[in-house]
Amino acid sequence: MASLWGGRFEKDMDDIVKEFNASIGFDKRMYNEDIDGSIAHVTMLAEQGIVTLAEAEQIVTGLEKIREKIKSGEIVFTVDDEDIHMGIESKLIAEIGDVGKKLHTARSRNDQCQVDGRMYLKKEIREIVHRLCYLESVILEKAEKYADSITVGFTHMQHAQPITLGFVFMAYFQMFRRDIERLMDAYERMNLCPLGACALAGTTLPTNRARTAELLGFDAPTENAMDSVSDRDYSLEFLSDASISMMHLSRWAEEFVWWNSQEFSYIAIDDSYCTGSSIMPQKKNPDMAELLRGKVGRVYGDLMQLLTVMKGTPLAYNKDFQEDKESLFDAVDTWKASIQIFANMLDKTEFRMDQIEKQFAKGFLNATDIAEHFAKQGIPFREAHSIVGQMVKACEQKDCEFEDLTEEELQAIDSRVTRESLGDISIKACVDARVSFGGTAPSEVRRQIKVGEAWLADIK
C-alpha cells in the first residue's frame, strides 16, 4: 500500500523498517479519540468555508462507518497502516473516495496524535478517579466499623503507641485523597486542545482552533503551536501521579503481607484473594497483596522510560515521541487494575481483634502517655521522658508491666512518682485521651470520617 506521505520518495520502506516504524499495534486503542478529533476538525473546516458542508457531511458519515467497522472487527489494521491516524485516513479515502483526502487540511499527525493522547488520557483519568473514589468509600466503611478497635502503632517496625484501626484507615484515606486531587489538577492542566497546531507553526488557512477545542470538550486551545506538538508534560505528570498512587497501594499491600503472617495474624484475607502452594498443602498465600506490591515497579519504569525519551529532544517534533504511548498505556492498565483489586481485597478482609489484643502487653505502648500525664502534673516533659525511660528499664529487669511496679520501686526512680500519680494508664484510656486534632481517639477518628465523607460526596 502506498503511503499517504510518500510523494517525494522513489522507494517504499523496507519491510523491517515498516515493522520498526509502525505504532499501529498499540495506538489503535485510540481509534475513537482519533475519529472524534477528525469529526470536530472537519466540522470546523466546513464552518470556516475551507471545505463545503456537503463534503464535511460525507466525511463524517464515512468516519462513523469506519468506527463501526473497527468496533465490529471488520477492519483489521496492519503495519502498512503505520499508525492509527494514517490507518483511519486511508480507510476513509477507500470508503468515500477523493473527498476523504480533504480531511487532513490544516492539521498534521503531530497535533493529531497530541489531541488523541489528551482525549484518551482525560477519559482514563475520569475512570481512575472513579475507581479511587470507590476505594475511598471502602476505606470509610472500614474506618467506621473499626473506629473503636485498638491496634498497635509502629515506628521503625517497633511497637510505639496504641492507636485505633479506624485511625489507620483514615491515614490511607488521606493518601488516596491526595492522589485524586493530583489527578484532578493534572486533568485541568491537560484540558487544552492542540488540534490545529499542525506540524509546529500553525497554518495559513483561516481555521478556528477555539471551535475545535469547544467541540472536543477542552477549555481552550493550546497557546503555542511549537510547544503543542512537542509537549509530553501531561503524560509525565500522569505517570508521576500514577507512580505516587501505586506507591501508596504498595505500602498498604506490604502491611497486608505482614498482618497476614503467622507472626502477626492480624487479618483474615478472603480466600478469593489468596493462592495456595503446589507442594505445601497448608499454605494460604497473600499473593494479590504481594503482586500489588510488585506492580509498582512497572509504573515506576513507565515514568522513567518516558522521562528518558524526552531528555535532550530539541524542538519541535521528533520521532522519539512515538515512544510515549506504550508506557502510558501500561501505566493506565496497571493502575486501574491495581486499584480495583486492592479495593475488593480490602472490602473482604476482616481484622482478628483477638489476635491483635495479644500484642498490647509488648513494647510498653502506654509509655508516652505516662510521660504526658507527668507533664500535666508539672514535671518538665524532658524529665518525665527520663523517668518513664527508667520505669521501662525497671520493668524489663523485673519482666513485668508498668502496673506491676510497686510504690517503693516507683519512689526509687523519682520521689514525685507514686501509684496514684500514674492515673489510668490502660490502653483504652490512652487511646480515648488522644483527642488532639488529627489524633487517634475514636471521637476524633469519627470526625475525620465525616470530613472524608463530605469531601467524597462533593467529588462524586
- Residue 214 in any domain: the answer is no
Provide the 3-class DSSP secondary structure of residue 154. Answer: strand
Does 335 lie in the same domain as 260? yes
Q: CB neighbours (10 Å) of residue 427? A: 17
Is the backbone peptide bond immediately before 316 cis, with ω within 30 degrees of 0? yes
pLDDT one-digit tens code per residue, 37-71: 999 999 999 999 999 999 999 999 999 999 999 99
CATH number (domain holding residue 427): 1.10.40.30
What is the sign, positive or negative, of the torsion defined by CA atoms of 24, 26, 28, 32? negative
Residue that is last in its domain, among 335, 357, 379? 357
Residue 177 lies in a domain: yes
Indicate whether 233 and 352 sit together in one domain.
yes
Alpha helices in 97-164 (DSSP H): 109-145
Q: In this model, does residue 362 exceed pLDDT 90?
A: yes
The domain tally of the chain equals 3
Q: Is 152 left (phi over 0), alpha (psi -120 to 50) or beta?
A: beta
Q: Are residues 177 and 295 in the same domain?
A: yes
pLDDT score recorded for residue 385: 97
pLDDT at 316: 94
pLDDT tens, residue by residue, 325-347: 999 999 999 999 999 999 999 99
Nearest to 130 by CA among 169, 187, 197: 187
My answer on whether 100 and 246 are in the same domain is no
Write down the pLDDT at residue 19.
86
Claim to verify: residue 182 and residue 284 sit in the same structural domain:
yes
Q: Indicate if the pLDDT at residue 9 is higher than 80.
A: no
Domain boundary residue, one of 357, 391, 414: 357
C-alpha cell at 190: 491537560
Q: CA quadruple 272, 152, 358, 140: dihedral positive or negative?
A: negative
Indicate the residue among 333, 357, 381 that finishes a domain.
Answer: 357
pLDDT (0 to 100) of residue 401 = 93
In a domain, 210, yes or no: no
Range(s) of the domain holding residue 231: 110-150+162-195+227-357
- Say which range, 121-130, 326-335, 413-422, has the weakest mean pLDDT: 413-422
Return d(Cα 373, Cα 383) in angstroms, integer.
Answer: 12
- The pLDDT tens digits of the residues spanning 379-412 come to 999 999 999 999 999 999 999 999 999 999 999 9
Statement to judge: residues 176 and 93 lie in one domain: no
- Is residue 240 very low, low, confident or very high in pLDDT (cuts 50, 70, 90)? very high
* Residue 13: per-residue pLDDT: 67
Shared domain for 433 and 395, answered yes or no, is: yes
The CATH number given to whatever domain includes residue 270 is: 1.20.200.10
Angle (nearest 5°) at CA 243 between 240 and 245: 110
Indicate if the pLDDT at residue 444 is higher than 80: yes
Rounded mean pLDDT of 297-312?
A: 97
Mean pLDDT score across all residues of the chain: 95
C-alpha cell belonging to residue 397: 529487669
208 and 47 in contact (C-beta within 8 Å)?
A: yes
Q: Are 308 and 166 members of one domain?
A: yes
- Helices marked H in 146-224 — which ranges? 165-190, 209-215
Residue 429 corresponds to which cell in the numbers above? Answer: 484510656
pLDDT at 425 exceeding the cut of 70: yes
Residue 2: band (very low, low, confident or very high) from pLDDT cuts 50, 70, 90 = low
The C-alpha cell at 45 is 473546516
User: How crowded is residue 151: how many other Cβ atoms within 10 Å of its Cβ?
Assistant: 23
Cα 455 to chain centroid distance, Å, stands at 18
Q: Taking a C-beta distance cutoff of 8 angstroms, is the pair 213, 219 a contact?
A: yes
Note whether residue 216 is domain-resident: no
Q: Give the burial class of 417: count Cβ atoms within 10 A of its Cβ; 0-12 exposed, 13-18 middle, 19 or more buried.
A: buried
Instruction: Note whether residue 335 is domain-resident.
Output: yes
Would you state the pLDDT for residue 139? 98
Which range among 9-18, 32-41, 78-87, 359-368 shows the weakest confidence by mean pLDDT?
9-18
User: Does position 4 have pLDDT exceeding 80, yes or no?
Assistant: no
Residue 221 is assigned to a structural domain of this protein: no
pLDDT at residue 5 in the model: 47
If asked whether residues 371 and 276 sit together in one domain, one would say: no
Do 353 and 398 share a structural domain? no
Kindly list the distances between the CA atom of residue 165 and the CA atoms of 87, 97, 136, 266, 350, in Å, as whole numbers in the listed order: 54, 66, 15, 11, 11
Each residue's pLDDT tens digit, 86-103: 999 999 999 999 999 999
Q: Radius of gyration of the chain from Cα atoms?
A: 31
Q: Let me know whether 78 and 125 are in one domain.
A: no
Average pLDDT over residues 218-242: 98
**CA-CA distances (angstroms) from residue 452 to 161, 172, 344?**
24, 11, 20
C-alpha 452, offset from chain centre? 18
Which amino acids are annotated catalytic? 156, 277
3-class secondary structure per residue, 284-353: CECHHHHHHHHHHHHHHHHHHHHHHHHCCCCCCCCHHHHHHHHHHHHHHHHHHHHHHHHHHHHHCCEECH
Model pLDDT, residue 278: 93
Using a pLDDT cut of 90, give the percent of the chain over it.
93
Rounded to whole angstroms, the Cα distance separating 83 from 85 reads 5
Same domain, 252 and 340: yes
Instruction: Tell me what pLDDT residue 368 has.
Output: 96
Residue 157 in any domain: the answer is no
Residue with cell 529487669: 397
